């Protein structure tokens, strides 16, 4: 007497193979799309630095004003772009210090 569940098990194993093939094909499509997007990103020119930037401490409080592109300013969440008007206000009214390396205060004409 043959096992009645054997054909069902064979069908389930066949289904599994088909699904694994589909998964591999989908992963190939994903890898191809990631490569395409990386190639596009590599062709794009880098975004220009902001004209002025504000350095923030770990508590997100303003610490210094920098000329855009200054490498001494904060990175990522420790820096944000600001306008010339904001930079002038921060240096002149809020009495924030300018970066001693890029001398943002001298560039803006605000000196002690």
Strand ranges of the sheet holding 97-98, from the earlier edge strand across to the other edge: 79-82, 52-56, 62-67, 97-98
Which of the residue ranges 14-18, 35-39, 46-50, 87-91 would you say has the lowest mean pLDDT? 46-50
Query: Mean per-residue pLDDT for 46-53?
Result: 87
**pTM of the predicted model, to two decimals?**
0.58
Strands 52-56 and 62-67: antiparallel
Distance CA 25, CA 90 (A): 55
In order of 11, 21, 99, 112, the CA distances from 17 in angstroms are 10, 6, 62, 75
Distance CA 103, CA 72 (A): 11
Note the Cα 51 to chain centre separation in Å.
19
In the chain, where the domains are located: 1-44, 52-108
Query: Mean per-residue pLDDT for 58-80?
Result: 85
Query: Mean per-residue pLDDT for 39-57?
Result: 90
């Amino acid at each position: 007497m043959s096992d009645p569940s054997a054909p069902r098990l064979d069908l389930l194993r066949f289904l599994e193979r088909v699904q694994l093939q589909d998964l591999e094909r989908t992963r190939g499509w994903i890898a191809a799309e990631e490569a395409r997007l990386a190639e596009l990103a590599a062709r794009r020119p880098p975004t220009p630095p902001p004209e002025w930037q504000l350095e923030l401490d770990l508590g997100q409080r303003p610490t210094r004003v920098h000329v855009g592109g200054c490498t001494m300013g904060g990175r990522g969440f420790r820096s944000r772009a600001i306008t010339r008007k904001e930079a002038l206000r921060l240096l002149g009214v809020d009495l924030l210090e300018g970066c001693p390396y890029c001398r943002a205060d001298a560039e803006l004409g605000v000196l002690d």
